[in-house]
Structure formats: C-alpha cells, structure tokens
Amino acid sequence: MVEFPEKFKDLVAHGGASPDLLAAFSFEMIHYVTEMMNARINITYQSSYGQVSGKTVPTQGLFGMTVRKEVEICGSPVAMFLDPVRLKYFEYTNVFVPVEGVIVFRAPPLSYETNVFSLPFPVTLWAAAAAVMLLCAGLLTLVTHSERSLAAAKAGTAGKAGPDFGDDHAEDHALHSGADALLMTVAAVCQQGYSTDLRSVPGRIIVLMMLMLLLLLYTCYSASIVVLMQSTSTKITHYKDLLDTQMKFGLVNTPYIVFYVSKETEPVRRKLYTDKVLENGRAKHLYNVTEAVRKVQHEYFALNGFKNLIYGAISRTWTEDEKCGLVTLGRDFVSVKDPQIALAKHTHNAEAIRIMLRRIVERGIRNRFDRKFTHARPTCSNNAARFNSVSLTDVRAPFQILLSLMAASVAVLLAELAWHRRQDAVRQRRAGERRPAFVEAMAPVAVPARD
C-alpha cells in the first residue's frame, strides 16, 4: 500500500520520512527474500489497505487483492487480529516491522498550567513578610505619634500644629498617625514615595530596615520569576492528562494510525479521539506530517503518529533549541504495535518465504534496514540558548489583579460619592429643620399697651 508511488523509489533508495515508510521497510525485506529464492517479483501499488469490518470480506485495496489471491505477499505490514476474516484469508510470518505510535508535543511553559507568580515563595514566607510589615506599621505609628506629641508640646499648645506641618491650616489636612504609618508601609511595598517626613532617628531606622527587607524580597522574587518563566510544565505525563489541558490534539493522516485510533473502545482513548479529533462528528484534525510537525513547532499542539515519521520531519526542520522542549509519550496510546508481513492463505511459497525472512533477521540484514528507515529521538545539544518570550498568557495573573484593584477603586469612589451625597442631604434636612425654629425665636413679641 503506497500513497505516493512517484516518490517511492527514492524513499527505498535513500530512506527519509514519508507516510510510505512501512511499505519501504517491508519492500526492502521482500526484495532480499526474492533474490535469495532466485525468484522474480511483480509489484502492484494500491492506495489503501481495504478495511476489514466485522465479518465482511474486503474487496478493495491491498486486502481485496490478497483475498482474491492476486498477490502472494502483502507488501505493507498487517496488524495481527484474531478475527475470522483475517484468519481465513491471511497467514502471518512472525517477522515484525518496527512500528511505534507516539504522542509528541513541545512542553508548554509552566505559566500555561499554573500561576507562576505564586510559586517563588511558600505560604509561610508570605505570612512572615506580611507580619513583619504589620509590625513595622505599628512601630511607625508609635514613632509618628511621639513626634507629633513632642512637636505639640514644644509649640506650647496641644491643638496647635507642630513644625512638621508648616502652617496653621496643616492640622486640618494631616492624617492620623496610624493612617500615615499605614500609607508609608503600603508605599514602601509598592515601591512608591510618601510625603510624611520622619525626623527622629528611631523612625528612620525602622524605615531603613523595612526598605532593606523589601529590597531583598524583591530581588529574590524577581530572580525566581525569571527562572519560572523559562521553565516548562511537567503535569502532562500520560495521554490521559491531555483531556484536562487546553492543548489541541491531532493525528498524522496515515491509514494505519487513523483506522486503529478510530476503532479504540477504551474510555479515555475514545474520549480523547471524540473530543479532540472529531468536530461535528467528522475527523477534522488530521494532517500530513509536514503540516502536523509545523503545528507542533509553533503551537501547543499534541500529535499522534509514527515515531520514525515524526522524528525524521523534526530532525530536518527544527532548530537545535526547539528540540530541547520536545516531549514524547503515549507509546501505549495505539494498542496495536509491530505489524507483521502477511501472506495470502495457502500460498505454495509460504514456507520458503518464512525461511528466507528468518535468515534476513539472523544475519543482521534487517538491522541495516532499521538504521536506514528509523530515526532516533532528536536530541537537545544547546539547551542554554533556549529562551521563551513572555506572552500575555504568562502574565495573566498580574493583569487579573490589576483589573480587580481598578474595579475595587471604582467601587470605592462610587461609595464615597454616595456617602458624601447622603451627608449633604442630611445637612440640608437639618438646616431646614432649624430654620423655622430660628425664625420663630427671632420674631417680635407683642407688648401690651399701658393704661
């Protein structure tokens, strides 16, 4: 079964990555078998296997020609199933063609699966830092209160503003000592300035220690964030985990993979196929190997297909740093592995073909085919040069916090406006109630005339 007959000869001669890799592998073995048998081979190309469904005898494709005994050897390997049709019309040689289906994808960034901004420090450290900031705010409250008390005492009047306020009306606008200390702490945490000026040595020591502590926290936090931004997620360790992620999933459009994946009945495999591959009941996410590997390269996309086919395409098209993030799993996703070279039932050359195939295996000729047609997993040789650019997905948590605080500030503003409007209404009502009484009190009193 050959999909691209015009490229098949070049594939057999030089190897490479092609959907016809299985046919090329078995063709080389059959070619040696016929030479060892001193026989002449007549090749017929078919574009499909011809499906065996239930007890229906196939009439099309490679299987149909084998059933009609138009060919003696299936040039493409056939999976061994103990169904009545295959046992009736096929014989297996016990010579396997190495085929392994894998799921390949680029490991997504850690921020794709979790909020990296909560990972640098444990909860206990965050709690300790918050406790220290509250302690600093309390100490600053005491210091500012003491400074104001001393300033008032020096001024000679408890109600008069001290020299820290600069004019007679400054006291009306000065905040309470606790509010000033809280604003100073919040400003230090947010790396902003503040207007309160502490003149005493204890106050300046407290501010200096608080700023030094925050500087160390920010330095460690920023360094950890940079490392975490370049880290990859390790949550996807089995094909079952793909169901719980946003990663897309597709298949290489080869008959072997598509047929057997679509026939899976195991619940997880079936759900992965129906949810990720099918769309409106039709298989939409089927790609040729070039397009599929390109999607894996530029998107967070999981691809299921032949290991040799995918690895060959990746080795040719990906850069060295892109190969560093490659993840391979799902070797057990396709339950059918290592198909065999099959023969037509009761062919008179069956025993001779089996013997020659065993000799090819025993003499190491098949190992040469393995090296020619199989591709090793692409290795990462320059992991230090790999750098992931930061996307909006990576910083969605800070944006969520920013939007939440902006919404909270708008809510507080509206609440303040409503409160001030209510206070104005209360003042006007009270003023209206006092005015009639005032007018009545100021009205002239009639004095009776004297006789």
Evaluate if residue 32 carries a pLDDT over 80: yes
Q: What is the mean pLDDT of residues 214-238?
A: 85
pLDDT in tens, 120-133: 888 899 899 999 99
Pick the closest to residue 195 from 167, 171, 175, 212 (CA basis).
175
Q: Are 79 and 49 in contact (CB under 8 A)?
A: no
Pick the closest to residue 245 from 310, 325, 300 (CA basis).
300
User: What's the confidence (pLDDT) of residue 189?
Assistant: 87
Same fold, 5-98+339-369 and 102-108+233-336: yes
Q: What is the mean pLDDT of residues 297-301?
A: 86
- The β-bridge partners of 96 are 340
Q: What is the mean pLDDT of residues 68-88?
A: 74
pLDDT in tens, 395-435: 788 888 889 989 999 999 999 999 999 888 888 888 777 66
Could you tell me the pLDDT band of residue 172, with boundaries at 50, 70 and 90? very low
Evaluate if residue 165 carries a pLDDT over 50: no
User: What's the confidence (pLDDT) of residue 168?
Assistant: 40
User: What's the confidence (pLDDT) of residue 169?
Assistant: 38
Report how far residue 307's alpha carbon sits from residue 232's, in angstroms, rounded to the nearest whole number: 23
Hey, which of 71-85, 200-214, 267-281 has the most confident mean pLDDT?
200-214
Evaluate if residue 174 carries a pLDDT over 50: no
- The DSSP 8-state label assigned to residue 277 in this structure reads I
Residue ranges per structural domain of the chain: 5-98+339-369, 102-108+233-336, 123-151+176-230
User: What's the confidence (pLDDT) of residue 408?
Assistant: 93
Report how far residue 58's alpha carbon sits from residue 65's, in angstroms, rounded to the nearest whole number: 9
Evaluate if residue 439 carries a pLDDT over 70: no
Q: What is the DSSP annotation of 411-436?
A: HHHHHHHHHHHHHHHHHHHHHHHHHH
User: What's the confidence (pLDDT) of residue 194?
Assistant: 79
Q: Are 64 and 87 in contact (CB under 8 A)?
A: no
Beta pairing, strands 90-96 & 340-344: antiparallel
Fold of 102-108+233-336: D-Maltodextrin-Binding Protein; domain 2 (3.40.190)
- The DSSP 8-state label assigned to residue 388 in this structure reads P
Query: Can you count the helices (H) and strands (E) in the chain?
Result: 15, 9
pLDDT in tens, 41-64: 887 877 777 766 656 677 777 888
Tokens of 354: 């089996």
Q: Which CATH code for domain 5-98+339-369?
A: 3.40.190.10
Pick the closest to residue 50 from 12, 86, 84 (CA basis).
86
Please count the other Cβ atoms lying within 10 Å of the Cβ belonging to residue 285.
18
Q: What is the mean pLDDT of residues 378-387?
A: 67
